[in-house]
Amino acid sequence: MTKSVSEGGHLPAWRLWLFASPNFPLSALIIAVAIYLPQYFAKNLGLGLAAVGAAFAFIRLIDIPVDPLLGVAMDRTTSPWGRYRPWMLLGAPLLMLAVHMLFSAPYGVSASYVIVWLLVMYLGSSMITLSQSAWGASMATSYDERGRVFGAIGAAGVAGMTLLLALPLLASALMPRAINAKVPQMGLLIVVTTLLSALAATGMTPERVTPHKPGQGVTLHDYIALLLNPNMVRVSAATFLFTLGTSWEGGLYLFYYTDVRHLSAPDASLMLLAALAAGLAGAPAISWLGAKTSKHGALITIAVAYGGALMTLWLIPLNAPAWVLYFPYVTSGFLFAGFLVLINAMTADISDEARLNQGKERSALVYALLTLAPKISSALAIWMTFTLLAQFGYRPAAGQANSAAAISALNITYVVGPNVCVILGALCFIRYPLNRRRASEIRALLDARDAAETSSQRNADVPDAHLA
């Protein structure tokens, strides 16, 4: 399969959503690992809290260099089934096996057991994530189509997060006594949807493969050129700041709404679910905004709006009813979906620029390098917020009383920190040079070069008439 889109210039909607579907289980997995799995190991399986923390931290350190290595391998892959399709098909069973072993682990598991299967899980997850991103960038070649493709991927991810968060509520309603069964049910959801989505995406989506050339290997000079590419620097810095801001807010979410706003934990969970559901509409809507204006302009807009939505919390009295709080938080959930959608679409343009400059396919490597920023900032956000609140005397443990000064510090930290981060992220795109016009010029140059190389290859394959 070599055609990337339909004759009308767009991948048909049904193919687009099938291609986007692997991000459903991947995003569900992110929420499950961040919120439920560590606590499940410590509370229900007898593994010490320190051991759980050490296992997850150790794996994240190992995981950082894995993505660039995978990116290099993907970009050099040639097969009868395409370049990125085999990697998605290989990553799916790895992810499914690891999720089963972790989410259905027996009581008394060791830290080494957790480390091994976390490593396999992150390896499978990286294979699917990078292959989908690079495949989407090579499949959608126009500026607007990329926004549409990554908008669908973002919407699928929000849907996965939403259903994963709803699952414990549904399980509690249907099986109120089966408390410990919730995590295995999450694992089953992820395993089944990984299988179905990987088969759907790889079986029903065309792949546009750039011809492999001799010397496609990555040199140190190539790495440095990519890392120092001005547009790559801007996007990486913005990704770091956007992730830092949203992770900052997410890490303090339950503390803020239970201790400052005095919501019950179930009410706070329902509001989080509503915000994620709003992201289902936010992902395609923000993708549309990027198509109507520009992707970097839309990012600036949603960053300012996101910060403004958080600032309105200070206009709402502390004794206001819970339903009033839904307005700013659901608005921020609607906007949150746009950060990743637009960043991924802009990264596709950078991968085109890299291929034009280096003469080699670099999509997977570009996406792999981009993943380094959010991995670092998401871990940094927890350390920063918890350390800052500790300096103000805030005590998060259940039953602990906090002073008025500590609660005030939490109120300020929750709003100011994310605002500073996302606004600084938006500033990275002031006068961003890789706009619609420049991206179209690069795409035209690549298409002309590909056509010339294909024509040259065909002529080389024709026998010389004088020698016949």
Mean pLDDT of 13-30: 92
Burial class (CB in 10 A: 0-12, 13-18, 19+), 68: buried
Is there a single domain that holds both residue 303 and residue 361?
A: yes
pLDDT at 40: 77
pLDDT value at 299 more than 90: yes
pLDDT at 8: 39
CA distances from 74 to 70, 135, 462 (A): 6, 10, 31
pLDDT at 415: 93
* Domain presence at residue 459: no
pLDDT at 99: 96
Tokens for 235?
Answer: 């996007």
pLDDT at 12: 87
* Domain presence at residue 454: no
Is there a single domain that holds both residue 204 and residue 308?
A: no
The distance in angstroms from the start CA to the end CA of the chain is 33
Domain coverage including residue 386: 218-447
pLDDT value at 456 more than 80: no
Is there a single domain that holds both residue 290 and residue 433?
A: yes
pLDDT at 6: 44
| Average pLDDT over all residues of the chain | 82
* Highest-pLDDT range among 219-233, 285-299, 392-406: 285-299
Q: How confident is the model at residue 293 (pLDDT cuts 50, 70, 90)?
A: confident
The pLDDT tens digits for 115-141 are 899 899 989 999 999 999 889 888 887
* Domain presence at residue 460: no
* Domain presence at residue 455: no
Mean pLDDT of 159-176: 72
* Domain presence at residue 349: yes
- Are 183 and 37 in contact by the 8 Å Cβ rule? The answer is yes
pLDDT value at 37 more than 90: no
Last-in-domain residue among 165, 183, 209: 209
Last-in-domain residue among 209, 236, 251: 209
pLDDT at 326: 93
pLDDT at 308: 94
* Domain presence at residue 456: no
pLDDT at 219: 67
Question: Quick count: other Cβ atoms within 10 Å of Cβ 162?
Answer: 24
pLDDT at 213: 54
pLDDT at 464: 47
Q: How confident is the model at residue 64 (pLDDT cuts 50, 70, 90)?
A: confident
Higher local confidence (pLDDT), 10 or 296: 296
pLDDT at 163: 85
Is there a single domain that holds both residue 346 and residue 406?
A: yes
pLDDT value at 22 more than 90: yes
Q: Which residues contact 359 (CB under 8 A, 6 or more apart)?
A: 213
Higher local confidence (pLDDT), 82 or 460: 82
Is there a single domain that holds both residue 24 and residue 139?
A: yes
* Highest-pLDDT range among 91-95, 249-253, 368-372, 410-414: 91-95
- Are 23 and 132 in contact by the 8 Å Cβ rule? The answer is yes
Last-in-domain residue among 188, 209, 230: 209
- Are 143 and 294 in contact by the 8 Å Cβ rule? The answer is no
Is there a single domain that holds both residue 171 and residue 247?
A: no
The pLDDT tens digits for 184-197 are 888 999 999 999 99
Query: What is the torsion angle, in degrees rounded to the nearest 10, for the CA atoms of residue 250, residue 252, residue 253 and residue 258?
Result: 170
Is there a single domain that holds both residue 224 and residue 181?
A: no
Higher local confidence (pLDDT), 456 or 306: 306
Please tell me the least confidently modeled range out of 12-16, 38-42, 104-108, 249-253: 38-42
Q: How confident is the model at residue 370 (pLDDT cuts 50, 70, 90)?
A: confident
Is there a single domain that holds both residue 133 and residue 275?
A: no
Higher local confidence (pLDDT), 271 or 88: 88
Higher local confidence (pLDDT), 299 or 74: 299
Is there a single domain that holds both residue 204 and residue 296?
A: no
Mean pLDDT of 375-388: 75
Taking the whole predicted model, whether its pTM rises above 0.85 is answered as no
- Are 248 and 385 in contact by the 8 Å Cβ rule? The answer is yes
Is there a single domain that holds both residue 205 and residue 222?
A: no
pLDDT value at 4 more than 80: no
pLDDT value at 425 more than 90: yes
pLDDT at 396: 63
pLDDT value at 466 more than 50: no
pLDDT value at 103 more than 50: yes
CATH number at residue 440: 1.20.1250.20
Is there a single domain that holds both residue 196 and residue 229?
A: no
pLDDT value at 235 more than 60: yes
pLDDT value at 404 more than 80: yes
* Domain presence at residue 143: yes
Question: Quick count: other Cβ atoms within 10 Å of Cβ 160?
Answer: 27
3-state secondary structure the chain: CCCCCCCCCCCCHHHHHHHHCCHHHHHHHHHHHHHHHHHHHHHHCCCCHHHHHHHHHHHHHHHCCHHHHHHHHHHCCCCCCCCCHHHHHHHHHHHHHHHHHHHCCCCCCCHHHHHHHHHHHHHHHHHHHHHHHHHHHHHCCCHHHHHHHHHHHHHHHHHHHHHHHHHHHHHHHHCCCCHHHHHHHHHHHHHHHHHHHHHHHHHHCCCCCCCCCCCCCCCHHHHHHHHHCHHHHHHHHHHHHHHHHHHHHHHHHHHHHHHHCCCCHHHHHHHHHHHHHHHHHHHHHHHHHHHHCCHHHHHHHHHHHHHHHHHHHHHCCCCCCHHHHHHHHHHHHHHHHHHHHHHHHHHHHHHHHHHHHHCCCCHHHHHHHHCHHHHHHHHHHHHHHHHHHHHCCCCCCCCCCCCHHHHHHHHHHHHHHHHHHHHHHHHCCCCCCCCHHHHHHHHHHHHHHHHHHHHHHHHHHCCCHHHC
Q: How confident is the model at residue 167 (pLDDT cuts 50, 70, 90)?
A: confident
Higher local confidence (pLDDT), 340 or 242: 242
Higher local confidence (pLDDT), 167 or 98: 98
Total domains in the fold of the chain? 2
Is there a single domain that holds both residue 145 and residue 257?
A: no
pLDDT at 457: 66
pLDDT value at 397 more than 60: no
Phi-psi sector, 272: left (phi>0), alpha (psi -120 to 50), beta: alpha
* Domain presence at residue 431: yes
